[in-house]
Amino acid sequence: MSLPGRVDLVSQRLVFAPNLAWRDFDLKTPIERATGLPVELENAANSCALAEIWFGQHAEGVRNLVAVTVSEGIGCGLILNHQLFKARPEWPASLDIPRFVEDGLECRCGNRGCWEVYASNSAALRYYSQTASPVAAARLLPELWGRL
């Protein structure tokens, strides 16, 4: 199961998903109980990298790959020497959510200046609402938010 956040490799618990406001959440156990199937959790960007290596049209012979995902947040999945690179639990979360602007705008993760504050879907909507006429923004923004 692909999740937009950090997953603990040992416990298979979701550690933190800022855009969902979920912390230390066990999604694996209830889904396994409900379905009777084994469940593995993985970060969404890592899942995208794996999908590209496994099923991509041009993946044959590819040993290294960077998959950058942009939606509500920004993620990066790395395949190095044909293996998924995973952050270790003791590494700081800043490896998962790099800062783009020192002391920049506040991010949902609690830090300031993260990439997604400046380059995600929600950032694009914020830029639009700041630059569009009030009438156009009031008419279009509810429709766009409904699609995210």
Name the pLDDT band for 46 (thresholds 50, 70, 90). very high
∠ CA 142-120-135, rounded to 5°: 30
Which amino acid, 124?
A: A
Q: What is the pTM of this model?
A: 0.76
- In terms of average pLDDT, the best of 11-25, 28-42, 110-124, 129-143 is 28-42
Which of 101, 38, 51 lies closest to 79 in space, CA to CA? 51
Q: Give me the pLDDT at residue 20, please.
A: 87
Q: What is the pLDDT of residue 97?
A: 58
pLDDT in tens, 48-94: 999 999 999 888 889 999 999 888 888 889 999 999 998 766 555 44
Cα distance between residue 44 and residue 76, in whole Å: 9
HSE-up (13 A, CA, CB side) for residue 74: 21
> What is 93-130 written as a DSSP string?
GGGTS-BSSTT-SBPTTS-BSBHHHHHSHHHHHHHHHH
Q: Which residue has the higher pLDDT, 69 or 95?
A: 69
